[in-house]
Amino acid sequence: MHVLVLGGTTEARRLAELLHPRPDLRVTSSLAGRVSAPRLPPGEVRIGGFGGADGMARWLREHAVDAVIDATHPFAERISFNAAGAAATTHVPLLALRRPGWVPGEGDDWRTVDDLREAAEAVRTVGGGGRRVFLTTGRMGLAAFAHIDDAHFLVRSVDAPEPPTPPHMELLLDRGPFTLDGERALLARHRVDVLVTKDSGGAATAPKLTAAREAGIPVIVVRRPPTPAGVPVAATVEEAAAWVQARSAAVSG
Ligand code: NAP
């Protein structure tokens, strides 16, 4: 049974690690190619776009794929809709692996916004117009903040962003997982007034939220985009592996 894992996340890599040793499976992971030195999963890896939903449907047929797991990032909206389209055309079973979103707890000061444009608006008002902003929304989409010239941005991303970027910006090239002690020290060292994050979920990047709560720093949280209707969802890597197991049992009769 040939399984295609649409990746670019820790969960996708962990799923490939879990499935790869199984003799009944051939596992191919697909990466977009955005990161210059990606952590590669075991098994076969293909890199680069498919050419939309039609291109992915073609790829599924040409490579005799029996099941697809969309383990892309919750904010990678286009590839998820492409996967739903390709699966519908080819009748290849599709499962979405989505880590649950973060939930505010006691003492959190969160403002939820719909997108990066709204996040940029909120930066001007939240925390009394916080002047030192810790931006952890990734290197794409910084254009939404590029017009803000009266705030200092600390931008953390895996690779350097491309212009346009905010005029007053310090870049921190790093990749999770991050520790609570590290995040505490970072917020203090950079005198951060406000944190901006996507609701990515997961443990690897959650310590910044705890550190912000402890320091009384408000957090602007970008809400997740919608997911394609009708696609079953697994919340954990283990659940997704069990789904593959069930499909494999069905295929082998
Ligand atoms: P996106 O907007 O949903 O996708 C844009 C295009 O990139 C897709 O139409 C597809 O091109 C290609 N693509 C995306 N993911 C792919 C994959 N796994 N394999 C092959 N092609 C892929 O995606 P994005 O937000 O730019 O994210 C790109 C990748 O980075 C994803 O794999 C995602 O898991 C990872 N990532 C994203 C975020 C985020 O915040 N968005 C954060 C961490 C990691 P074609 O139409 O040509 O097939």
Ligand 1 atom with the smallest distance to the CA of 80 is 3
Of 127 and 146, more confident: 146
Query: What residues flank ligand 1, with Cβ below 6 Å?
Result: 6-9, 30-32, 34, 49-52, 55-56, 72-73, 75-79, 82, 138, 198
- Give the orientation angle of helix 10-19 with respect to helix 237-251, to 10 degrees: 40
Tens of pLDDT, residues 170-183: 999 999 999 999 99
Rounded Cα gap, residues 175 and 13, in angstroms: 15
The pLDDT of 59-68, averaged and rounded, is 98
Whole-number average pLDDT of the chain: 96
Tens of pLDDT, residues 66-112: 999 999 999 999 999 999 999 999 999 999 999 999 999 999 999 99
Give the pLDDT band of residue 250 (cuts 50, 70, 90). confident
Ligand 1 atom with the smallest distance to the CA of 79 is 3
Tens of pLDDT, residues 25-46: 999 999 999 998 999 999 999 9
The pLDDT of 111-121, averaged and rounded, is 97
pTM: predicted TM-score of the whole model, two decimal places: 0.94
What distance in angstroms lies between residue 81's CA and the mean position of ligand 1's atoms? 11
Rounded Cα gap, residues 232 and 237, in angstroms: 14
What distance in angstroms lies between residue 7's CA and the mean position of ligand 1's atoms? 8
What distance in angstroms lies between residue 164's CA and the mean position of ligand 1's atoms? 20
pLDDT score for 128: 64
Residue 225, number of CB atoms within 10 A of its CB = 15
pLDDT score for 127: 65
- Mutate which of 78, 136, 223 for ligand 1 pocket (most atoms within 8 A of beta carbon): 78
- Same fold: 2-100+227-252 with 110-222: yes
Residues 6+ apart with CB under 8 A from 50: 30, 56, 58, 59, 82, 86
pLDDT score for 21: 96
Residue 129 pLDDT > 80: no
Bridge-based pairing of strands 233-234 and 94-97 is parallel
Residue 122 pLDDT > 80: yes
Q: Would you kindly state where each structural domain of the chain is located, as residue ranges?
A: 2-100+227-252, 110-222
Whose tokens are 């890896």? That residue is 45
What distance in angstroms lies between residue 79's CA and the mean position of ligand 1's atoms? 6
Q: Which CATH class is domain 2-100+227-252?
A: alpha beta
C-alpha torsion 207→210→214→216, nearest 10: 110
pLDDT score for 125: 87
Distance, first Cα to last Cα, the chain: 12
* Cβ contact 91:68 at 8 Å: no
Second-level CATH architecture of 110-222: 3-Layer(aba) Sandwich (3.40)
Angle at 144 between CA 172 and CA 207, to 5 degrees: 40
- Which tokens belong to 122? 């909120």
The pLDDT of 205-227, averaged and rounded, is 97
- Which tokens belong to 168? 């007053």
What distance in angstroms lies between residue 60's CA and the mean position of ligand 1's atoms? 17
φ, ψ for residue 135, nearest 5 deg: -105, 115
Residue 132 pLDDT > 70: yes
Rounded Cα gap, residues 165 and 205, in angstroms: 23
Rounded Cα gap, residues 58 and 61, in angstroms: 5
